[in-house]
Amino acid sequence: MNIELLRDFLCVSESMSLTRAAELRNTTQSNLSKRLRALEMWLGRDLIDRRGRPLALTQAGEDLVPKARGILAELDGFRGADLPWSVKDGAVSIAMPHSATVSVFPAFKKRLLRRLPKASFAPRIANHDMVARMLTRSECDLALVTRHPRVPQADEFAVFRSVDIARDRLVLVAPPGASKDEPLPLHVSDSRTYIGQIWQACRVAVPATKEVEHGMAADIRAHCLAGDGRGVLPETMVEADIASGRLVVCDCREDLGYDVSLFCAPKASPQAKRIWALASAI
Protein backbone atom coordinates (compact mmCIF):
# COMPACT_ATOMS: atom_id res chain seq x y z
CA MET A 1 0.00 0.00 0.00
CA ASN A 2 1.25 3.52 -0.84
CA ILE A 3 1.74 5.42 2.44
CA GLU A 4 0.51 8.59 0.74
CA LEU A 5 -3.00 7.10 0.77
CA LEU A 6 -3.02 7.53 4.55
CA ARG A 7 -2.00 11.18 4.15
CA ASP A 8 -4.84 11.63 1.65
CA PHE A 9 -7.30 10.12 4.10
CA LEU A 10 -6.12 12.25 7.04
CA CYS A 11 -6.29 15.39 4.92
CA VAL A 12 -9.93 14.57 4.11
CA SER A 13 -10.70 13.76 7.76
CA GLU A 14 -9.26 17.09 8.90
CA SER A 15 -10.81 19.31 6.23
CA MET A 16 -14.05 17.27 5.81
CA SER A 17 -14.13 18.46 2.21
CA LEU A 18 -12.95 16.57 -0.87
CA THR A 19 -12.50 19.87 -2.70
CA ARG A 20 -10.30 21.43 -0.05
CA ALA A 21 -8.41 18.19 0.55
CA ALA A 22 -7.67 17.91 -3.18
CA GLU A 23 -6.27 21.46 -3.15
CA LEU A 24 -4.11 20.71 -0.12
CA ARG A 25 -2.86 17.47 -1.65
CA ASN A 26 -2.19 19.18 -4.98
CA THR A 27 -4.42 16.90 -7.01
CA THR A 28 -7.89 16.80 -8.55
CA GLN A 29 -11.01 15.82 -6.65
CA SER A 30 -11.62 12.84 -8.93
CA ASN A 31 -8.07 11.59 -8.45
CA LEU A 32 -8.35 12.02 -4.68
CA SER A 33 -11.62 10.04 -4.70
CA LYS A 34 -9.87 7.22 -6.59
CA ARG A 35 -7.09 7.17 -4.02
CA LEU A 36 -9.58 6.96 -1.16
CA ARG A 37 -11.38 4.11 -2.93
CA ALA A 38 -8.04 2.32 -3.30
CA LEU A 39 -7.40 2.65 0.42
CA GLU A 40 -10.92 1.42 1.23
CA MET A 41 -10.47 -1.58 -1.07
CA TRP A 42 -7.13 -2.40 0.55
CA LEU A 43 -8.66 -2.20 4.03
CA GLY A 44 -11.86 -3.92 3.02
CA ARG A 45 -14.19 -1.33 4.56
CA ASP A 46 -15.72 2.06 3.78
CA LEU A 47 -14.08 5.05 5.43
CA ILE A 48 -16.19 7.89 4.01
CA ASP A 49 -19.98 8.12 4.21
CA ARG A 50 -20.86 9.44 0.77
CA ARG A 51 -24.64 9.24 1.15
CA GLY A 52 -25.26 12.78 2.37
CA ARG A 53 -23.88 16.24 2.94
CA PRO A 54 -21.82 17.41 4.67
CA LEU A 55 -19.12 14.82 4.27
CA ALA A 56 -18.79 12.43 7.20
CA LEU A 57 -16.57 9.55 8.28
CA THR A 58 -17.92 6.08 8.89
CA GLN A 59 -17.16 4.41 12.21
CA ALA A 60 -14.30 2.61 10.47
CA GLY A 61 -13.03 5.97 9.28
CA GLU A 62 -13.19 7.43 12.79
CA ASP A 63 -11.31 4.40 14.13
CA LEU A 64 -8.62 4.72 11.46
CA VAL A 65 -7.79 8.39 12.16
CA PRO A 66 -5.68 7.86 15.33
CA LYS A 67 -4.11 4.70 13.89
CA ALA A 68 -3.12 6.48 10.66
CA ARG A 69 -1.69 9.42 12.63
CA GLY A 70 0.29 7.00 14.77
CA ILE A 71 1.70 5.16 11.75
CA LEU A 72 2.73 8.39 10.02
CA ALA A 73 4.14 9.87 13.23
CA GLU A 74 6.33 6.80 13.76
CA LEU A 75 7.56 6.90 10.17
CA ASP A 76 8.20 10.65 10.28
CA GLY A 77 9.93 10.25 13.62
CA PHE A 78 12.16 7.51 12.22
CA ARG A 79 12.95 9.55 9.10
CA GLY A 80 13.72 12.71 11.06
CA ALA A 81 14.93 11.28 14.34
CA ASP A 82 17.85 13.71 14.48
CA LEU A 83 15.82 16.80 13.66
CA PRO A 84 15.07 19.23 16.52
CA TRP A 85 11.40 19.55 15.55
CA SER A 86 10.71 15.84 15.97
CA VAL A 87 8.11 15.07 18.66
CA LYS A 88 10.27 12.07 19.51
CA ASP A 89 13.02 14.48 20.57
CA GLY A 90 10.73 16.47 22.81
CA ALA A 91 9.10 18.92 20.42
CA VAL A 92 5.61 19.94 21.54
CA SER A 93 2.79 19.01 19.18
CA ILE A 94 0.56 22.05 18.64
CA ALA A 95 -2.57 22.05 16.48
CA MET A 96 -3.91 25.17 14.77
CA PRO A 97 -5.71 26.39 11.65
CA HIS A 98 -3.51 27.08 8.63
CA SER A 99 -3.93 30.86 8.89
CA ALA A 100 -2.46 30.84 12.42
CA THR A 101 0.80 29.29 11.19
CA VAL A 102 1.64 32.49 9.31
CA SER A 103 -0.09 35.04 11.53
CA VAL A 104 -0.46 34.48 15.29
CA PHE A 105 1.85 31.52 15.94
CA PRO A 106 5.20 33.07 14.85
CA ALA A 107 4.73 36.06 17.18
CA PHE A 108 3.61 33.82 20.07
CA LYS A 109 6.59 31.52 19.56
CA LYS A 110 8.99 34.48 19.49
CA ARG A 111 7.65 35.80 22.81
CA LEU A 112 7.77 32.36 24.38
CA LEU A 113 11.35 31.63 23.31
CA ARG A 114 12.56 34.65 25.25
CA ARG A 115 11.50 32.81 28.41
CA LEU A 116 12.02 29.22 27.29
CA PRO A 117 14.83 29.27 24.67
CA LYS A 118 14.98 25.51 24.13
CA ALA A 119 11.29 25.03 23.40
CA SER A 120 10.54 23.44 20.03
CA PHE A 121 7.23 22.80 18.29
CA ALA A 122 5.74 20.37 15.80
CA PRO A 123 2.78 22.25 14.26
CA ARG A 124 -0.28 20.29 13.12
CA ILE A 125 -2.80 21.87 10.73
CA ALA A 126 -6.42 21.18 11.66
CA ASN A 127 -9.78 22.92 11.45
CA HIS A 128 -11.77 24.04 14.50
CA ASP A 129 -13.78 20.84 15.01
CA MET A 130 -10.79 18.60 14.38
CA VAL A 131 -8.74 20.51 16.97
CA ALA A 132 -11.51 19.91 19.51
CA ARG A 133 -11.40 16.16 18.88
CA MET A 134 -7.60 16.10 18.96
CA LEU A 135 -7.56 17.87 22.34
CA THR A 136 -10.18 15.55 23.81
CA ARG A 137 -8.19 12.50 22.73
CA SER A 138 -4.80 14.07 23.63
CA GLU A 139 -3.67 13.61 20.04
CA CYS A 140 -1.82 16.93 20.36
CA ASP A 141 -0.22 18.67 23.34
CA LEU A 142 -1.42 22.22 22.74
CA ALA A 143 -3.82 23.99 20.40
CA LEU A 144 -4.39 27.51 19.15
CA VAL A 145 -8.11 28.17 18.86
CA THR A 146 -9.96 31.18 17.47
CA ARG A 147 -12.86 32.58 19.52
CA HIS A 148 -15.52 35.13 18.59
CA PRO A 149 -18.61 35.92 20.72
CA ARG A 150 -20.99 35.56 17.77
CA VAL A 151 -19.69 32.20 16.57
CA PRO A 152 -20.21 29.14 18.80
CA GLN A 153 -17.28 26.90 19.65
CA ALA A 154 -17.27 23.12 19.58
CA ASP A 155 -18.76 21.73 22.80
CA GLU A 156 -15.54 19.89 23.63
CA PHE A 157 -13.73 23.16 24.39
CA ALA A 158 -16.05 23.85 27.35
CA VAL A 159 -14.24 21.30 29.53
CA PHE A 160 -10.76 22.78 29.02
CA ARG A 161 -9.15 25.84 30.55
CA SER A 162 -7.67 28.30 28.10
CA VAL A 163 -5.48 31.38 28.10
CA ASP A 164 -5.79 34.19 25.55
CA ILE A 165 -2.44 34.68 23.82
CA ALA A 166 -3.32 37.08 20.99
CA ARG A 167 -5.94 39.42 19.61
CA ASP A 168 -6.47 39.62 15.86
CA ARG A 169 -9.16 40.86 13.50
CA LEU A 170 -10.36 40.28 9.98
CA VAL A 171 -9.67 43.12 7.57
CA LEU A 172 -11.05 43.78 4.12
CA VAL A 173 -8.14 44.42 1.78
CA ALA A 174 -7.88 45.39 -1.87
CA PRO A 175 -5.16 45.96 -4.48
CA PRO A 176 -3.83 49.55 -4.58
CA GLY A 177 -5.86 51.81 -6.84
CA ALA A 178 -9.11 49.82 -6.62
CA SER A 179 -12.12 52.11 -6.24
CA LYS A 180 -14.18 51.43 -3.11
CA ASP A 181 -17.35 51.33 -5.26
CA GLU A 182 -15.90 49.11 -7.98
CA PRO A 183 -17.51 45.63 -8.09
CA LEU A 184 -14.74 43.06 -7.80
CA PRO A 185 -14.55 39.39 -6.84
CA LEU A 186 -14.56 39.01 -3.06
CA HIS A 187 -12.31 36.24 -1.74
CA VAL A 188 -13.27 34.87 1.69
CA SER A 189 -12.57 31.87 3.87
CA ASP A 190 -14.75 28.79 3.41
CA SER A 191 -17.96 29.16 5.44
CA ARG A 192 -17.20 25.84 7.15
CA THR A 193 -14.02 27.26 8.69
CA TYR A 194 -14.21 29.24 11.91
CA ILE A 195 -12.83 32.42 10.33
CA GLY A 196 -15.31 31.98 7.49
CA GLN A 197 -18.10 31.77 10.06
CA ILE A 198 -16.91 35.00 11.70
CA TRP A 199 -17.23 36.73 8.33
CA GLN A 200 -20.69 35.26 7.77
CA ALA A 201 -21.83 36.41 11.22
CA CYS A 202 -20.40 39.94 10.94
CA ARG A 203 -20.24 40.53 7.20
CA VAL A 204 -20.60 43.97 5.66
CA ALA A 205 -21.98 44.97 2.28
CA VAL A 206 -19.19 45.05 -0.32
CA PRO A 207 -19.54 45.74 -4.07
CA ALA A 208 -18.70 42.36 -5.57
CA THR A 209 -19.19 40.51 -8.84
CA LYS A 210 -19.04 37.18 -7.00
CA GLU A 211 -17.93 35.75 -3.66
CA VAL A 212 -15.28 33.06 -3.86
CA GLU A 213 -14.59 30.76 -0.89
CA HIS A 214 -11.13 29.34 -0.19
CA GLY A 215 -9.91 26.65 2.17
CA MET A 216 -6.68 28.50 2.99
CA ALA A 217 -6.18 32.18 3.79
CA ALA A 218 -2.90 32.09 1.87
CA ASP A 219 -4.89 31.61 -1.33
CA ILE A 220 -6.99 34.70 -0.57
CA ARG A 221 -3.85 36.77 -0.03
CA ALA A 222 -2.36 35.51 -3.30
CA HIS A 223 -5.47 36.56 -5.27
CA CYS A 224 -5.44 40.01 -3.68
CA LEU A 225 -1.73 40.52 -4.36
CA ALA A 226 -2.31 39.49 -7.98
CA GLY A 227 -4.98 42.19 -8.30
CA ASP A 228 -7.81 39.68 -8.63
CA GLY A 229 -10.33 41.31 -6.28
CA ARG A 230 -10.73 42.11 -2.61
CA GLY A 231 -10.24 39.70 0.26
CA VAL A 232 -11.08 39.16 3.91
CA LEU A 233 -7.98 38.14 5.88
CA PRO A 234 -6.49 38.12 9.40
CA GLU A 235 -4.75 41.46 9.88
CA THR A 236 -1.56 39.88 11.25
CA MET A 237 -1.24 37.90 8.02
CA VAL A 238 -1.14 40.99 5.80
CA GLU A 239 0.50 43.58 8.07
CA ALA A 240 3.67 43.65 5.95
CA ASP A 241 1.64 43.90 2.72
CA ILE A 242 -0.33 46.84 4.10
CA ALA A 243 2.78 48.59 5.43
CA SER A 244 4.54 48.25 2.06
CA GLY A 245 1.50 49.42 0.06
CA ARG A 246 1.02 46.11 -1.75
CA LEU A 247 -2.50 45.97 -0.25
CA VAL A 248 -4.77 48.64 1.19
CA VAL A 249 -7.37 48.28 3.94
CA CYS A 250 -10.96 49.09 2.95
CA ASP A 251 -13.13 51.05 5.36
CA CYS A 252 -15.11 48.59 7.51
CA ARG A 253 -16.98 49.72 10.62
CA GLU A 254 -18.09 46.26 11.74
CA ASP A 255 -16.11 44.75 14.62
CA LEU A 256 -14.32 41.77 13.13
CA GLY A 257 -11.93 41.28 16.04
CA TYR A 258 -11.40 37.89 17.63
CA ASP A 259 -9.26 36.25 20.32
CA VAL A 260 -6.81 33.41 19.88
CA SER A 261 -6.62 31.09 22.89
CA LEU A 262 -4.13 28.44 23.89
CA PHE A 263 -5.53 25.10 25.12
CA CYS A 264 -3.64 22.26 26.78
CA ALA A 265 -4.61 18.61 26.31
CA PRO A 266 -5.34 16.40 29.36
CA LYS A 267 -2.35 14.13 28.68
CA ALA A 268 -0.01 16.81 27.38
CA SER A 269 3.72 16.38 27.84
CA PRO A 270 5.38 18.05 30.87
CA GLN A 271 7.07 20.51 28.50
CA ALA A 272 3.70 21.45 26.99
CA LYS A 273 2.25 22.05 30.45
CA ARG A 274 5.19 24.33 31.27
CA ILE A 275 4.58 26.26 28.05
CA TRP A 276 0.88 26.62 28.85
CA ALA A 277 1.65 27.87 32.38
CA LEU A 278 4.25 30.28 31.04
CA ALA A 279 1.82 31.58 28.40
CA SER A 280 -0.62 32.33 31.22
CA ALA A 281 1.99 34.58 32.80
CA ILE A 282 3.25 36.35 29.65
pLDDT at position 168: 93
What's residue 66's pLDDT?
Answer: 87
User: What's the confidence (pLDDT) of residue 251?
Assistant: 77
> Range with the lowest mean pLDDT among 74-88, 173-187, 224-238?
74-88
AA identity, residue 89: D
Confidence band for 78, pLDDT divided at 50, 70 and 90: low
Residue 214 has pLDDT above 70, yes or no: yes
Handedness of CA 188, 21, 127, 269 (dihedral sign): negative
The stretch 257-282 carries a mean pLDDT of 91
pTM: 0.67
Between CA 53 and CA 34 the distance in angstroms is 19
pLDDT grade for 220, boundaries at 50, 70 and 90? very high
Residues 92-101 have pLDDT tens digits of: 999 998 888 8
Please give, one letter per residue, the 3-state secondary structure of 29-93: HHHHHHHHHHHHHHHCCCCEECCCCCCEECHHHHHHHHHHHHHHHHHHHHHCCCCCCCHHHCCEE
Identify the pLDDT of residue 82: 47
> What pLDDT digit, counting tens, does each position of 13-33 carry?
888 888 888 887 778 888 889
Residues 6+ away with beta carbon under 8 Å from 280: 163
Higher pLDDT, 280 or 252: 280
